[in-house]
Amino acid sequence: MVETRPSHPDRWAILAVLCASLLVVVVDVTVLHVAAPAISADLDPSALQLLWIIDVYPLVAAPLLLASGVASDRLGRKSVLLAGFALFGLASLAAAFAPTAPLLIAARALLGVGGAMILPPTMSIIRDAFRDRGERVRAVGIWSATSAGGAAIGPLVGGFLVEHFWWGAVFLINVPILLIVAPFAIRLLPQSRAAEPPPWDTGAVVLAAVGILGIAFGLKEGARYGFLEPVTMAATVVGLSALYLFVRGQLGQRHPLLDVRLFGRREFAVAVGCVFLSMFGLVGIEFFGAQYLQLVLGLEPLAAAVRLLPLMLSTLVGGLLAARVLRRLGTRWTITFGLGATTLGLVPMLALGLEDQYWLLWPAFLLIGFALEVALVAANDVIISSVPADEAGGAAAIEETAYELGGGFGVAVLGSILAIAYSARLGRVEGVSSIGIETARESLNRAVDLAQTMPTSMAEPLIEGARIAFMSGYRTMIVVSLVLLGLSAAVSAIALRPRGRSSDPAGDSTSDPAGGRYAERPAGPNGSGPGLRPAGESIPKRVGRN
């Protein structure tokens, strides 16, 4: 029997609602980047608490995305998305008026739960509404541009709101936006669910959450107190053990919460890795770039956000043009180009110093934003095309988990590297006590706050030394990113080589040389990646799961 279900007649209006929903969630990943100094001044969090305020949102969302993908497949994608709206709005109110750092961390964690309920249904509904693969590539490009553009525009929104209102406004703005989007979502979005959804697995959800948060806690605590400290080692061991048990358990399930076997497909594994590393580089570099602009160069929040504008615009352009690049280069070279060009874009940032050298920054931002976004769209296309529509929730959950983990671990890992290098480089300052130096070594924020309580003769050398130490850590962080992204580009070029006369998404051909469009062919029973058939050719109906 041939599957002949057409695309949804209102698919482009549906896409607009989904992109608006997505925008609210992804802006919240980066909106605090330029608001961090204002939060530090008001709530006086420790350096570790500040990292958790920034990072707890994606790190809580990441493991729950798996649960959300299954829940949306079982209960209905529209229902889960709307429930996520309600929770996200309530958490935004709690975060806006949080009186202490721990309560803000808790509110941000709740935002992560709401965000996790919204994200997988957006991609699953796209997969269900756009049955034509050519249209779906364009839709995914727009979705991906919205995602990366929202992450990039977050600092601009945050800078404007902090400068004209107060830091809580960066959360409060979510509420009226959700109230506007919700009626359109109720009216336009179709209610879809999987024909044979996987069973619910509470134990697997708990193991995934413990694993991710345990490793993140170990990284953050290790950077602050040392990786051989008992608490740090215990958290890391617990996290790694939980992830091992999670993967082992999923491999033994007939209907797993996360289909780990998908990673056995070469193109799928590389695509997920591409998404992870792209967000790792983009969010991590953007966050610490915002700190550089404000704390080293002394720019106001809005002025710092405007300096990030080329990055925002280039991600939008990359998302809109990615489908054309993908058609011309094929998935293999599009991903390789994206990661390789991003590596080149990072090189000029090694020359940044204590003086304003924006002429080095804006060309780098243009290249990084465009290249990363093009690679992301190509990777998204591989992931979403790897499964039939009934299993879209699981693939979308994996994709969004890679997004959130990339952003979360980008801040955690790169932040830990920067913190270690900063602390090691900041030496003694004449007139400043050893206790004062230890306080300044926590972060550049702490050093600036401490200097404001000192006479000018001691404050100026302290700030100068702290800024030099920060730049040393920042350059170390850039070098690590260069190595990771460069190696990833090389791995993509090698691992995504076509296998014989294959026309799967990882090959070099994603469209008919004559210009014809292709329709999707579901993955084969042996776990091979999806192939493509000329549009109009019969497509066998998918029965059951791999």
Q: Where are the domains of the chain?
A: 11-190+257-428+462-495, 199-256
User: Using CA atoms, how far apart are residues 443 and 383, in angstroms rounded to an integer?
Assistant: 39
52-64 average pLDDT score: 78
Band (pLDDT 50/70/90 cuts) for residue 241 is: very high
CB 120 within 8 A of CB 400: yes
3-state secondary structure of 171: helix
Residue 357 carries which DSSP code? -
Q: Say how many C-beta atoms besides its own lie within 10 A of residue 6's C-beta.
A: 8
pLDDT in tens, 85-119: 899 999 999 998 988 888 999 999 899 888 888 87
User: Using CA atoms, how far apart are residues 149 and 108, in angstroms rounded to an integer?
Assistant: 21
Three-state SS sequence of 359-405: HHHHHHHHHHHHHHHHHHHHHHHHHHCCCCHHHHHHHHHHHHHHHHH
User: Using CA atoms, how far apart are residues 31 and 312, in angstroms rounded to an integer?
Assistant: 13
3-state secondary structure of 433: coil
CB 283 within 8 A of CB 415: no
- Residue 95's contacts (CB-CB under 8 Å, 6 or more residues apart) are 104, 107, 108, 111, 168, 171
pTM: 0.66
Element (H, E) at 534: strand 531-534
3-state secondary structure of 540: strand
Residue 523 carries which DSSP code? P
Q: Which amino acid is at 497?
A: R
Residue 2 carries which DSSP code? B
Residue 91 pLDDT? 92
User: Using CA atoms, how far apart are residues 381 and 459, in angstroms rounded to an integer?
Assistant: 53
pLDDT in tens, 171-222: 888 888 888 888 888 888 877 766 666 677 788 878 888 887 788 778 777 7
User: Using CA atoms, how far apart are residues 436 and 457, in angstroms rounded to an integer?
Assistant: 15
Residue 160 pLDDT? 80
Task: Single out the residue of 468, 444, 475 nearest to residue 51, CA to CA.
Answer: 444
User: Using CA atoms, how far apart are residues 352 and 346, in angstroms rounded to an integer?
Assistant: 11
In angstroms, what CA-CA distances link 245 with 206, 239, 241, 249? 11, 10, 6, 6
Task: Single out the residue of 423, 465, 461 nearest to residue 443, CA to CA.
Answer: 423
Residue 397 pLDDT? 64
% pLDDT > 90, the chain: 3
Task: Single out the residue of 48, 51, 70, 71 nearest to residue 59, CA to CA.
Answer: 51
**Helix extents (H) in 389-531:** 392-425, 434-440, 444-451, 456-495
Chain-centre distance for alpha carbon 240? 21
Architecture of 11-190+257-428+462-495 per CATH? Up-down Bundle (1.20)
Q: Indicate whether 539 pLDDT > 80.
A: no
pLDDT in tens, 278-331: 777 766 667 677 777 777 887 777 777 777 778 777 877 887 787 788 888 887
Band (pLDDT 50/70/90 cuts) for residue 525 is: very low
3-state secondary structure of 518: strand
User: Using CA atoms, how far apart are residues 356 and 125, in angstroms rounded to an integer?
Assistant: 45
User: Using CA atoms, how far apart are residues 376 and 328, in angstroms rounded to an integer?
Assistant: 16
